[in-house]
């Protein structure tokens, strides 16, 4: 085996899974405050990718067709239930403000639409298939790649003609989305619409077949960039010794998804929230050994220094409000008022958050020993699961519908009622409901891999692409090397746009987390 190459420098934060703590009542540490969206170079600014939200994780059936919006729209708040006319009274009309009170019922949970492709993003065939795809795209580059298409294609409707459509057909034929024998035409006909849909699916875009802004941006990514994504991803997989097995879990960080793989097929694909660019989720190959119900959370030292101490200086009641205890030697609890918060002395103690609904790890932690101390877990603040851009955690992986994943992991494990019982949805809910810490060891640990694949191919050879959110694909200058001067024109007109154009720069409204 060839040794795995060193990972490009990035910032890893060991076990920084800040959820409920940062979802607490203080705005400065609110979990749902978005992390800075990475600003990738783009030929034209593009709105953040918005995907339809669904309430179920992706199954291995054909994906539903969804429209690709041109302008992002915020999630609309749930409208209060209308009051029947019979229920109205003079009192209600006299005090209209009471009738307009918003319902305190929580909004229904929604999850971003994810791919329903049953082919895993990471499998025993991925490395070789990706190497071959990189060679094929290198040939595209040598042949001149493909032409850019104009923004005016966005207004073209099915059945209409446009002079740029032949160039679009050439591009989709090269990448295998349009059959090579398709008749030439300048019309947006049904076969071309189907090819556009296939292209969108490979890039994790809404596969509507409609030429929206995101699709045009993705079409205009040069062949050189695509080849580099494939080559860099293959290099990161070189020398892997991951023990796949019949059942395993794969997390492709740039996709922000979790795949439960069984028998070589994805049985379920879950929405995930992964590390932000400044707190990147590391690549890991290990095994899932335990499931923890109602876990406590030990606050990492870096979070104590950077988050807790500044908060305590402003609000001495912060720890009590978030149910965080200070533990000294031997586990003895220490009174927060005895700590000098003007110093860094608090970092010498253990700070631990009690289990509960508002715990940073939610109600479930999936334990997977590794040197980075990262893991998968639940979260009390689930609104980020509805977004298509989900790079907001402190390094760990938050899983949407994590209890369903836990049920899959616990298949074949003896249930709480002894021999013959199982861990079904009811047993999992009951095991959590009493609020007591419960650790369930897996008799047969399940392999799990966190991988960073911005370009990869499956056994069919089709290449899939995702945004290089951590900027690992671009070669970095050698230590001590003097970077070449950048022409002013290159700054004004970048030649290497964002890989899909799905992440656009946005104005900062204040400090982001």
Instruction: Specify whether 394 is catalytic.
Output: no
The two three-digit tokens of residue 319, written as one number: 């720890």
- Given 17, 162, 171, 377, the catalytic residue: 377
Do 199 and 210 form a contact (C-beta atoms < 8 A)?
A: no
* 229/241 Cα distance (integer angstroms): 22
Do 326 and 350 form a contact (C-beta atoms < 8 A)?
A: yes
- Cα radius of gyration rounded to whole Å, the chain: 25
* 201/195 Cα distance (integer angstroms): 10
Element (H, E) at 446: strand 438-451
Residue 391: strand pairing partners: 274
Q: Strands, E, within 379-435: which ranges?
A: 391-393, 397-399
DSSP codes, 268-293: EEEEEEEE-GGGBPPPEEEEEEEEEE
Cα pseudo-dihedral 293, 245, 463, 41, rounded to 10: 40
Task: Please give, one letter per residue, the 3-state secondary structure of 19-84.
Answer: CCCCCCCCHHHCCCCCCCCCCCCCCCCCCCCCCCEECCCECCCCCCCCCCCCCCCCCCCCCCCCCC
Q: In terms of C-beta density within 10 A (0-12 exposed, 13-18 middle, 19 or more buried), how is residue 501 classed? A: buried
Give φ, ψ of 54 to 5 degrees.
Answer: -135, 160
* 147/156 Cα distance (integer angstroms): 18
Instruction: Specify whether 377 is catalytic.
Output: yes
Apex 88 CA angle, 87 and 89, nearest 5: 120
- Given 17, 162, 394, 396, the catalytic residue: 396
Residue 58: strand pairing partners: 269
Do 392 and 35 form a contact (C-beta atoms < 8 A)?
A: yes
* 304/183 Cα distance (integer angstroms): 64
The two three-digit tokens of residue 36, written as one number: 């800075």
| Alpha-carbon distance values, 403 to 291, 364, 425 (Å) | 10, 8, 8
Catalytic residues: 377, 396
């Amino acid at each position: 085996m060839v040794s795995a190459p060193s990972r490009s420098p990035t910032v890893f934060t060991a076990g920084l899974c800040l959820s409920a703590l940062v979802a607490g009542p203080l705005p400065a540490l609110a979990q749902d405050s978005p992390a800075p969206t990475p600003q990738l170079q783009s030929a034209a600014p593009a709105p953040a990718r918005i995907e339809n939200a669904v309430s179920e994780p992706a199954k291995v059936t054909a994906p539903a067709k969804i429209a690709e919006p041109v302008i992002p729209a915020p999630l609309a708040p749930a409208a209060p239930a209308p009051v029947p006319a019979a229920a109205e009274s003079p009192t209600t009309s006299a005090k209209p403000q009471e009738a307009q009170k918003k319902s305190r019922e929580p909004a229904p949970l929604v999850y971003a639409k994810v791919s329903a492709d049953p082919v895993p993003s990471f499998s025993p065939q991925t490395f070789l298939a990706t190497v071959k795809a990189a060679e094929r795209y290198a040939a595209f580059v040598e042949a001149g790649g493909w032409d850019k298409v104009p923004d005016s294609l966005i207004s073209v409707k099915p059945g209409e003609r446009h002079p740029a459509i032949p160039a679009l057909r050439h591009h989709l034929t090269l990448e295998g989305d349009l059959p090579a024998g398709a008749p030439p035409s300048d019309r947006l006909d049904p076969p071309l619409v189907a090819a556009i849909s296939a292209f969108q699916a490979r890039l994790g875009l809404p596969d509507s077949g409609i030429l929206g802004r995101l699709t045009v941006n993705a079409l205009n990514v040069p062949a050189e960039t695509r080849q580099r994504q494939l080559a860099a991803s293959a290099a990161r997989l070189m020398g892997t010794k991951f023990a796949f097995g019949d059942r395993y879990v794969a997390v492709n960080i740039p996709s922000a998804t979790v795949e439960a793989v069984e028998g070589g097929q994805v049985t379920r694909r879950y929405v995930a929230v992964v590390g932000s660019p400044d707190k990147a989720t590391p690549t890991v190959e290990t095994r899932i050994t335990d499931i923890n119900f109602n876990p406590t959370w030990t606050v990492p030292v870096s979070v104590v220094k950077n988050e807790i101490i500044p908060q305590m200086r402003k609000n001495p009641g912060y720890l009590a409000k978030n149910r965080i205890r200070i533990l000294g030697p031997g586990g003895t609890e220490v009174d927060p008022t005895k700590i000098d918060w003007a110093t860094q002395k608090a970092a010498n103690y253990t700070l631990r958050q009690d289990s509960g609904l508002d715990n940073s790890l939610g109600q479930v932690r999936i334990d997977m020993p590794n040197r980075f101390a990262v893991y998968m877990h639940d979260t009390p603040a689930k609104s980020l699961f509805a977004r298509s851009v989900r790079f907001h955690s402190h390094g760990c992986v938050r899983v949407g519908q994590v209890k369903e994943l836990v049920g899959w992991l616990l298949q074949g494990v003896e249930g709480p009622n002894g021999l013959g019982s199982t861990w079904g949805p009811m047993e999992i809910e009951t095991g959590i409901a009493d609020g007591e810490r419960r650790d369930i060891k897996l008799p047969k640990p399940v392999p799990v891999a966190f991988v960073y694949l911005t370009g990869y191919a499956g056994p069919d050879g089709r290449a899939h692409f995702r945004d290089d959110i951590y900027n690992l694909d671009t070669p970095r200058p050698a230590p001590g090397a003097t970077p070449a001067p950048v022409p002013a024109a290159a700054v004004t007109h970048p030649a290497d746009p964002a890989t899909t154009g799905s992440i656009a720069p946005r104005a900062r409204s204040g400090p982001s987390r």
